[in-house]
Structure 1
């Protein structure tokens, strides 16, 4: 029987394998869509709704000028559009077009559809605990990412 320490190590290894697998999948998607890594990351951030260019710059780790160039590329491909914020007409938001949503979702739909079945044997309480664990892991990573200094 595995010890708690061994199980923690095994979980860490399994999560590392999963992270590599997701990265490799995303790499394949960006190649299939003719995008770069920052382009796909931008689309990922837009999947849950419009964002400002500033939010996308932070999300992608790009400087403002590079973010503008990225948005220009995605707009030229018909994947995103710039629109006025209905709440504040002075502000411009970036949102995914229907074509952008369709093309990117088509790449991830098999994972979403098949992946839902992985939760079939779990109780609501177990899924809630898993969600909370993943949220805590995300918070931990985000907090530590903030402490990494860029080379000067």
Structure 2
């Protein structure tokens, strides 16, 4: 690999940070559009995404992950349940507890709205070798972990 000056490295690091901000903004705008198509508020759609990512969760855990007050979570879950995006079921491990889950089938509707982005990302990824994709994956996972830590620090 060619050696670069400290100044060039700072420029690259600044470029990476700016590209992450741009990507974050574009993904947020895409999520807003998908949420609007589904007639969901932003917080409701965020919770649906968290359930999709983490699987069934208790309402308290979901509230914590979403950074929402438990009373706010009740309203979010009421709206999502009414729209058929989630169910609240008794936790088989603790009959007093409730677990929120996404019913089968509704996920296809959401995924369909992301089809254009998914296809575009397939094309982007096709331009990289497996080794390059491994480095990109590592970078994105580490960036997500840093974002998680920063969020936890602010929520603190």
**TM-score, L = length of structure 2:** 0.85
- Does residue 77 (structure 1) correspond to residue 78 (structure 2)? The answer is no
Q: C-alpha displacement at 1:87, in angstroms?
A: 4.1
| Pair 1:88–1:149, CA change in 2 (3 A) | closer
Moved more, 112-121 or 74-83: 112-121
**Aligned position for 2:28:** 23
Q: Distance in 2 between matches of 1:110 and 1:97?
A: 24
| Pair 1:30–1:141, CA change in 2 (3 A) | same
- Does residue 46 (structure 1) correspond to residue 51 (structure 2)? The answer is yes
- Does residue 34 (structure 1) correspond to residue 43 (structure 2)? The answer is no
- Does residue 8 (structure 1) correspond to residue 18 (structure 2)? The answer is no
Contact 1:82 1:94 in 2 (8 A): yes
Aligned with 1:131 (options 137, 145, 148): 137
Q: Distance in 1 between matches of 2:62 and 2:155?
A: 20
Instruction: Indicate the SS of the match to 1:91.
Output: strand
Q: Distance in 2 between matches of 1:39 and 1:129?
A: 33
**Aligned position for 2:125:** 119
Alignment RMSD: 2.1
Instruction: Indicate the SS of the match to 1:54.
Output: helix
Contact 2:63 2:69 in 1 (8 A): yes
Q: C-alpha displacement at 1:109, in angstroms?
A: 2.2
Q: Distance in 1 between matches of 2:72 and 2:155?
A: 20
Q: Distance in 2 between matches of 1:143 and 1:108?
A: 27
Gaps of 5+ in 1: none
Following TM superposition, the consecutive aligned residue runs of length 4 or more in structure 1 with deviations greater than 6 angstroms are none
Q: C-alpha displacement at 1:5, in angstroms?
A: 1.7
